[in-house]
Structure 1
Amino acid sequence: MQNNPENDHNEAAPPSKTQRKQAMHALQEMGEQLTALELKRLHELDLPEILMDAILAAKQIHQHGARRRQMQFIGKLMRKIDVTLIQEKLFAWQNTSLQQTTRLHQLERWRDRLLADDQSFTELAQNYPTADIQHLRLLVRNTHKEKLTNKPPKSFRLLFRELQAIMTETAIEKRPFKTD
């Protein structure tokens, strides 16, 4: 049997030492993400018992060297399981968190605009027709009064909640209907 160079290219070459180390570090980083999760989220992942025990133990370790060794152990355990579902869940949770942060920033910008400029009420009414503009104007006036008299920011918070309710209501209305 001759050694054909074309056959050598068709066969998968084993990963290099660098590739193996990169894969191990990636698994350790994923293990770090898992140790940062709340217990409720960890249970949603349905991890093998030995991996779950290792993650829970890592949460209790605060010494740098011991924690590093525990993370290496978690990485070693993760090599034995299929991590694609874990990766997908982590990505989905991070994406949801980013969306929530973006939404909160949008609400804060609207509140700041309403407090700074009366013309923003017109724009808000155009973008969110269900908004009770009179009530929002009252909350803005009360917020300004609270600020002048150094009172607690009750109306400031109420304005935020009102905007949140308006935007949530509009987002629900804009969702497409699913027909089965």
Structure 2
Amino acid sequence: MTDDADDHGSFDERPSKSERKRRSDDLQALGEALIELSDSELDALPLPEQLRDAVLLARKITAHGGLYRQKQYIGKLMRKIDAEPIRAALEARRDRERVEAIRFHRVEQWRDRLLREGPEGVAAFRTEFPQIDSTAVGKLTERARKEQQTSKEKVTPAGRELFRLLRDALSRAP
């Protein structure tokens, strides 16, 4: 006779102990991520008052053992609530940070290209972003290139100003 207990539903459908442990660890890590959020980000999340208080207390604890126990407590509280809205909010935050990092690198790349190529870089910039005032970009690029030649610093005041101009212009660009 074969073991058909699964087909007849006589075995328990509960998750294994390992699966429960993985879920618990995941929820605790999610709870620990709440500790790192700013006050405004924490306030924006749909947290029960007890969990919010536990997170705020964890921020104040400096003793390693006490912080460990508080994190365990936060994990326990996390297991009692629906964590999906919190997970979604933290994922949205990570996505915004990724987009911001990509935007920052794009601005840096354009600034470096403009400083390296000069008028040719400005022409390429004008081609890619015709709606942006390339005259101001060109003047600032030349000023930054001149400062760069006479200064020992890698980034000069005009270079920082060029970065700000590009950041503002590219944030408005489609």
Moved more, 159-168 or 53-62: 159-168
Deviates more, 1:31-40 or 1:125-134: 125-134
Where structure 2 has 5 or more consecutive residues not aligned to the other structure, the ranges are none
Match of 2:124 in 1: 123
Measure, in 2, the Cα distance between the counterparts of 1:46 and 1:23: 20
State the identity as a percent: 35
Q: Which residue of 2 aligns with 1:140?
A: 141
Q: Report if aligned partners of 2:144, 2:157 keep a CA contact under 8 Å in 1.
A: yes
Give the equivalent residue in structure 2 for 1:103: 103
Unmatched tracts of structure 1, length 5 or more: 172-180
Instruction: Note if 1:156 corresponds to 2:165.
Output: no
Q: Distance in 2 between matches of 1:134 and 1:50?
A: 57
What TM-score, normalized by structure 1, do the two folds share? 0.85
Contact kept, 8 Å, 1:114 with 1:120, in 2: the verdict is: yes
8 Å CA contact 2:115, 2:141 repeated in 1? yes
Partner of residue 168 from structure 2, selected from 157, 165, 169: 165
| Offset, 1:12 | 6.0
* Structure 1 Cα separation of the partners of residues 117 and 136 of structure 2: 16
SS at match of 1:137: helix
Deviation at 1:66? 1.5
TM-score normalised according to structure 2 size: 0.88
Instruction: Give the whole-Å Cα distance in 1 for the aligned partners of 2:161 and 2:15.
Output: 58
